[in-house]
Amino acid sequence: MADGVQPTGRPMANGDNSSSSVTNLNNHISSLAQAFASWTGHPATFLLAILVVVAWVAKATYNLNARG
Q: Which tens digit of pLDDT belongs to each residue from 44-60?
A: 888 899 999 999 999 98
What local confidence, expressed as pLDDT, does residue 14 receive? 52
- Residues sharing a CB contact under 8 Å with residue 39, sequence separation 6 or more, in sequence order: 45
8 Å CB contact between 19 and 12 = yes
What local confidence, expressed as pLDDT, does residue 57 receive? 93
Q: pTM above the 0.85 mark?
A: no
**Confidence bin at 41 (pLDDT 50/70/90):** confident
**Confidence bin at 8 (pLDDT 50/70/90):** low
Position 16 pLDDT exceeds 70 = no
Residue 11: phi and psi, rounded to 5, are: -65, 145
